[in-house]
Amino acid sequence: MNPDLILTSRGHNHSIVIDCKSKTLSEHQNERYEAIHESPGVLLTRGIVSSAEATADYDAEFAYSSFADLSVNPFLPDNGFAVIHFDEDANQYIIDTLDDYEFNLDELEDKYPIYTGTRRLPTDYFPFDVGTGEDDYRQFTISILQSTVHVALEKDEFDADDLLEDAHPLWVDLDADMKKELRAHTETILSEYQREGLDEHIEKLQSGSKDKWRVVSKSLQALQRKVDEFVDDVQIKLEQTKITDDWDT
């Protein structure tokens, strides 16, 4: 198991281990989940979760979740795992377990059902992903461009990690493969916009095997104005996509 994201509350000694799958789960993957469910200690002994402490009542509970309707999914095994269902009404998202599932952990069980009270997605915690759609990539582009200004205010030289740490609150918790992908996209975005005029304000340096950039603009306000122009253009494309999607539906 190589999870994409691990979130740990050291105060409660709880970890949420998130393993994302873009397509159907294989039988082998389900068997691995079931094996860990039977022997949760391997999460610690194999270093999958390193920030939680082993206790006498250490336990792990598994749940499948998706924005698709898993209540009729023929590929889910009958293994007793929770299935978390996302629903919505005109005002909010509703998150609940199917078939009245009850979690062993009372504090977790008491949270369901969850009524968000808003239809705004919690992008403050996870502002972007890449590779899942054109809109996601555009939102990612906006975040990286804005972080270029934030970081340039503090550093004369910076790399992709500096920008991503500024742009993504959970950057340090992402898995190595996702970090590698985000770094590559960040470098592509900066190279693309340097050809569009960003090179007047930052220049690319070669530092060993890692790409770095240096602020050369005499005015950070000029850099801000240039980035604002780029962001406005991307935002217009996002709005156009939304209008098209609304029209199609």
Q: Delimit the domains of the chain by residue range.
A: 5-115, 134-248
Sign of the dihedral through C-alpha 134, 137, 141, 143: positive
Q: What is the pTM of this model?
A: 0.66
> Ramachandran region of residue 241, left (φ > 0), alpha (ψ -120 to 50) or beta?
alpha
> Is the confidence at residue 47, as pLDDT, over 70?
no
Q: pLDDT tens across 148-197, in order?
A: 999 999 999 999 999 999 999 889 888 888 899 999 999 999 999 999 99
CA gap 155, 153 in Å, rounded: 6
Residues 100-134 have pLDDT tens digits of 889 888 888 999 999 999 888 777 777 877 665 67
Best CATH choice for the domain 134-248 from the list 1.20.58, 1.10.3470, 3.40.50, 1.10.10: 1.10.10
C-alpha angle 193-197-198 in degrees, rounded to nearest 5: 60
- pLDDT at res. 113: 93
Q: Which residues of 40-56 are buried (b: 16+ CB within 10 A; e: fewer)?
A: bebbbeeebbeebeeee
